[in-house]
A = this chain, B = another copy of it.
């Protein structure tokens, strides 16, 4: 924690520790009912890929969106862990030589470097599969209806129509630069869909109806856009030491970003606009929504 840490960042770090402790238990060597065995090297690689020092922003959003509606915190923690397994799978596969070919992730060797290529593919597969296991596990205190809804929404956010499709568009963008609409589509799929899911999941976990779900979904969409815009700004301005990964890489690959297309000043104004829009989306919830609005601000204005 830097001296400039706000209360928000302390709160985020405290939650991250809780999520990591639970992920550590979920990714231990003990097979669960219906599993035959957990091969040591593979479960270790999954553990390594998931416990890599991230900010755990997605589980934080699940937890705080659930809290907004006084939903079950244990369920939120487990759905947050499931989402983090899924997010981790995407990082493990995106880093592979055939994809973005990154040797470092948050300053540490990526899974295919620390283990090997095949193990990294399988660790990603295992983490993706495990996300759906955790949601539907008997230990997750949710009604079957909420579990089925969460599986469906997560699968649609993560699959060909969401994150995986976004990564396909991202790879295609290396050979043919997308226009503005193409960039917006790519980013809404690649990073937006999971952040949107994280927020909407809170309403589902708390058993709320279509109206609350739609509000949280829109809030998630807006902060997804802010997240990506902030990321593109950081890719341009931050150095590798701050980010723990190679920077300036998107620009070097000729990948279009909205920042490259419309300039830094536009991006900074747009981030302010998005924070306001996110805040407006939650206006009906009054004071209770403060923590989520702070999260939106953090996402937009973060420095790493």
Show the binding face of A for B, using Cβ within 8 Å: 31-39, 41-43, 46, 89, 93, 96, 98-99, 116-119, 121-122, 124-126, 128-130, 132-133, 135-138, 143-145, 147-149, 151-162, 164-165, 167-169, 171-172, 185, 188-189, 193
Contacts and interface: CB of A to CB of B under 8 A. Distances in A.
Contacts of A121: 93, 96, 98-99, 121
A156 B34 contact: yes
Contacts of A32: 156, 161
A36 B190 CA distance: 10
Q: Number of copies of this chain in the oligomer?
A: 2
Given A145-B144, A147-B148, A160-B46, A119 B168 contact: yes
A36 B193 contact: yes
Contacts of A96: 118, 121
Contacts of A151: 132-133, 135-136, 147-148, 151
29 contacts: A33-B156, A34-B153, A35-B159, A35-B162, A35-B165, A36-B193, A37-B161, A37-B189, A39-B160, A39-B172, A89-B125, A93-B121, A96-B118, A96-B121, A118-B171, A119-B171, A121-B121, A122-B171, A125-B125, A126-B160, A129-B159, A132-B155, A133-B152, A133-B159, A135-B151, A136-B155, A137-B152, A138-B152, A144-B147
- Of the listed residues A96, A136, A161, the one surrounded by the most CB atoms of chain B closer than 10 A to its CB is A161
Contacts of A193: 36
